[in-house]
Amino acid sequence: MTDTALNVPMAVSEELESPTRRALRRLFQRKGAVVGLIVIATFILLALFAPLIVPYDPIATSWSLVRKPPSALHWFGTDDLGRDILGRVIYGARASLVAGAISVGIALSIGVPLGLLSGYRGGFIDALISRITDAMLAVPFLILAIALAAFLGPSLGNAMIAIGVSATPIFIRLTRGQAMSVKVEDYVEAARAMGNPRWRIALFHILPNIMPALLVQATLSIAAAIIAEAALSFLGLGQQPPQPSWGSMLNAAQRFLTNAPWMALWPGLAIFLVVLSFNLVGDGLRDALDPRER
Amino acid sequence: MLNFLARRIVQLIPTLFFVSILIFSLQHLLPGDPALIMAGEERDPAVIEQIRQQYRLDRPVPVQYVYWVKGVLSGDFGESLRIKVPVRELIAQKLPVTMQLAAMAIVIAFLIGIPAGIVSAVKKGTAWDYGANLFALWGISTPNFWLGIMLIFLFSIELGWLPASGYVPLSENWRASLASTIMPAFVLGNAIAAILMRHTRSAMLQVLESDYVRTARAKGLSERSVILKHAMRNALTPVITLGALELGTLLSGAVLTEQIFSIPGFGKLIVDAVFNRDYAVVQGVVLVTATIYITLNLIADIAYILVNPRLRA
């Protein structure tokens, strides 16, 4: 009895809180997600203000500084061409973060409309889109990305297209499934009864209600896309030298493991930290947006 | 059950058809004349014309597709442009190497992932649970090519315990074979162990709250018996079928892992083919990968139904 009485004001305040506010409050209660957000924000700031922070040109070579271990002047040491590794790691964040965001942007902009069409319309279109999605999902993500990047030609832009296209079927399948479960809800039925056209129902009634699931998947997909970009650059299919990218730095480092192991440590650690942070935020968002935890 | 199987197999036909279209159209993504690209450095018009006729590039695209599919269905994936060996032979040579790696990786993943998941669920909220969750996050977030490089640095360069690269077939010398594949297999298994740990944890947590576990406890059975005999057996069946689906992760991982450890497997074959612009090999490898993946999916679905009596009706 006492418990119920005490819980009433809490329940009322929860009811009054907007869904976005509630999700944000819950997200910030998760330590892992907060740490992830801080790390991501730090890397974004470093990438944005790289020219102001980095004292050395990340491309300029210096024969007198070849493979110097970490020191007060070069905190992360120098690489096989005498370039400052810290500077290259900071500039490399640009390629990774941009590739993560743009690839997932491509996957969302193709996957969500197709998934909505498939899930909401049903019938032949649904069957066709679903079989194409199955076919794409049958080819492992990275193998499809490598094959596409190879056929498009090596460059960061093409790598982003290849990763984006390879990640698209996940978003088609997710959007389709979500749209199918939402379209039978009363508020969608009501919108239909009011005579709203199909596109309006899909865009203004279904899409906003499936956003939480899409947001979680997008965050986790950015982590996968960053690893994929590093993998493609490692293989020489992404960012082209001398422009810095974490993957191509690791490729160069592999040849000098015996006498310059620091060349491999820092870019790998940077990929690990950023990917870990996106995974932490993705996990946090999933918990924060889970309606069962209200 | 038979109905389900028939429906599932019928569904595979359009999927495989679209896979073939997807793979075939990769070649046509290339800007310019495919014959010129296939010829590489060769600029002799007679050679280019010969390539055009050999690969039927002078015929309309749908006709080319029909010829390609006919070849594939009879086991003819074409010939490697660079080394003039049938793609089928190349795949038959390289696939067993990757299969050995994959089998070792799966064993490592199960040995780490399942105990970690069980401990994490049984000791929920303790330091064990946090440790296992940290391990899972580490496994999912570590790029396998970086982990491979770091392991080479530690175990080959610093400690000198294991060879940094190369491959010895199992039939030649099993000890040397294990030594040459244990690091790449661990790299591949690490990420899957993390995924299995998460699946096992959530399956165990669900089972531990079920009525039959409560009944087993109420009967006065020891906690060990409840977990090992009642909870684990029921929690692990879906996890094992899910493990089979991680083959895609394994094959993707093999591409980079084999590159780093210079292992002449399926993954290295695709990377070499990509760099040599050997399109017939790329198409063949992607098609075989997709077919293996689709078949394993089907087996996992059937296994799931076989182990779950409620779905059998």
> Which amino acid, one-letter code, is at A121?
R
pLDDT confidence bin for A9, thresholds 50/70/90: low
Residue B157's pLDDT band, with cuts at 50, 70 and 90, is: very high
pLDDT grade, residue B312 (50/70/90)?
low
Range with lowest mean pLDDT among A193-207, B51-65, B161-175, B294-308: B294-308
Local confidence band at B266 (pLDDT 50, 70, 90 cut-offs): confident
Instruction: Categorize the per-residue pLDDT at A4 as very low, low, confident or very high, splitting at 50, 70 and 90.
Output: very low
Average pLDDT of span B265-291: 86
What whole-number percentage of chain A has pLDDT above 70? 93
- Could you give the CA distance from residue B149 to residue A247 in angstroms, rounded to a whole number? 12
Cβ under 8 Å to A: B residues 113-142: 137-138, 140-142
- Quickly tell me which residue has 């498939």 as its tokens: A118
B29 touches chain A (CB under 8 A): yes
Average of per-residue pLDDT across A248-255: 93
pLDDT number for residue B7: 83
Pair of tokens at residue A48: 């944005």
Kindly tell me if the per-residue pLDDT of B29 is higher than 70.
no
User: Under a CB-based contact definition with an 8 Å cutoff, are residues A53 and A84 in contact?
Assistant: no
Residue with tokens 């210096």, as numbered in its chain: A62
Q: What percent of chain A has pLDDT over 90?
A: 60
CB spacing of A279 vs B30 below 8 angstroms:
no
CA–CA separation, A30 vs A70, rounded Å? 35
Quick one: pLDDT at residue A147?
84
Largest CA distance in chain A: 79
Q: In this predicted structure, what is the pLDDT of residue B36? A: 76
CB contacts < 8 A, A to B, total 127
Average pLDDT of every residue of chain A: 89
- Alpha carbons B86 and A4: distance in angstroms, whole number: 75
HSE-CB for B284 with a 13 A CA cutoff:
29
φ and ψ at residue B186, rounded to 5 degrees: -65, -40
> What CA–CA distances, in Å, run from B86 to B83, B256, B266, B280?
9, 24, 15, 9
Distance of CA B224 to the CA centre of its chain: 35
- A11 CA to chain B: closest CA distance, Å? 26
Taking the C-alpha atoms of residue A112 and residue A90, their distance in angstroms, rounded to an integer, is 33
Tokens standing for residue B279: 């399109």
- Computed over every residue of chain B, the mean pLDDT equals 86
**B177 confidence band (pLDDT: 50, 70, 90):** very high
> Is the separation of the CB atoms in B266 and B256 below 8 Å?
no
List residues bridging with B86 in a β-sheet.
B79
**CA separation for the pair A248, A235 (Å, rounded):** 7
Q: What is the mean pLDDT of residues A28-41?
A: 94
A84 φ/ψ angles, rounded to the nearest 5 degrees: -70, 120
Query: DSSP readout, B7-37?
Result: HHHHHHHHHHHHHHHHHHHHHHHSSS-HHHH
A234 neighbors A248 (Cβ within 8 angstroms): yes
The answer to whether B243 touches B195, Cβ cutoff 8 Å, is no
Distances (CA, A) of A240 to A95, A143, B94: 11, 20, 29
Q: Pull the structure tokens for residue B114.
A: 């399942």
Chain B residue numbers touching A264 (CB-CB < 8 A):
146, 149-150, 153
Phi/psi of residue B40, each to 5°?
A: 65, -125
- Chain A residue with CA closest to B10: the answer is A131
Cα(A155)–Cα(B250) distance, rounded to whole angstroms?
26
Q: What is the pLDDT of residue B50?
A: 83
Lowest-confidence range among A158-167, B35-44, B71-80, B255-264? B35-44
Instruction: Indicate the pLDDT class of residue B227, thresholds 50, 70 and 90.
Output: confident
Q: Count CB atoms within 10 A of the CB of residue A94.
A: 20
With tokens 């599919």, the residue in question is B69
Distance from CA of B20 to the nearest CA of A (A): 8
Average pLDDT, stretch B4-33? 81
> Dihedral of CA A7/A13/A17/A21: which sign?
negative
Residue A81 parent element (H or E): none
- Whole-angstrom CA distances from B93 to A140, B264, B266 are 21, 9, 9
Confirm if B77 and B87 have CB atoms less than 8 A apart. Answer: yes
Give the C-alpha separation, A118 to B139, whole Å. 34
pLDDT higher at A4 or B35: B35
Q: What is the pLDDT of residue B313?
A: 54
Q: How far is A40 from chain B (nearest CA, A)?
A: 14
Q: Among A32-41, B24-33, B289-298, where is mean pLDDT lowest?
A: B24-33
* Residue B152 contacts A, CB cutoff 8 Å: yes
Identify which of B148, B175, B188, B177 has the alpha carbon closest to the alpha carbon of residue B164: B148
pLDDT at A1: 40
Nearest alpha-carbon partner for A91 in A125, A140, A50: A50
Task: Write the single-letter amino acid at B248.
Answer: G
pLDDT score for B280: 83
Contact B286 A139 (CB under 8 A): yes
Interface test with B, best of A30, A31, A35, A151 (most B CBs within 10 A): A151
CA distances from B50 to B40, B47, B82, B282 (A): 14, 5, 15, 21
DSSP B215-242: HHHHTT--HHHIIIIIIHHHHHHHHHHH
The confidence band for B306, taking pLDDT boundaries of 50, 70 and 90, is: confident
Cis peptide before A242 (omega within 30 of 0): yes
**B60: its two tokens:** 């309309």
Report the percentage of chain B scoring pLDDT > 70.
94
- Percent of residues in chain B assigned helix, strand, coil, to nearest 5: 80, 0, 20
CB distance A143–B252 less than 8 Å? yes
User: Do residue A146 and residue B150 have CB atoms under 8 angstroms apart?
Assistant: no
Structure confidence at residue B10 (pLDDT): 85
Q: Which residues contact A19 (CB under 8 A, 6 or more apart)?
A: none
Higher pLDDT among residues A263 and B83, named by residue? A263
| Residue B267 identity | G
Please state the rounded mean pLDDT for residues A221-242.
93
Average pLDDT for B178-200: 93
**Count of residues for chain A?**
294
pLDDT digit string (tens) for A260-294?
999 999 999 999 999 999 999 999 999 888 766 54
pLDDT above 60: residue B270: yes
Which chain B positions have a beta carbon within 8 Å of A254's beta carbon? 149, 260
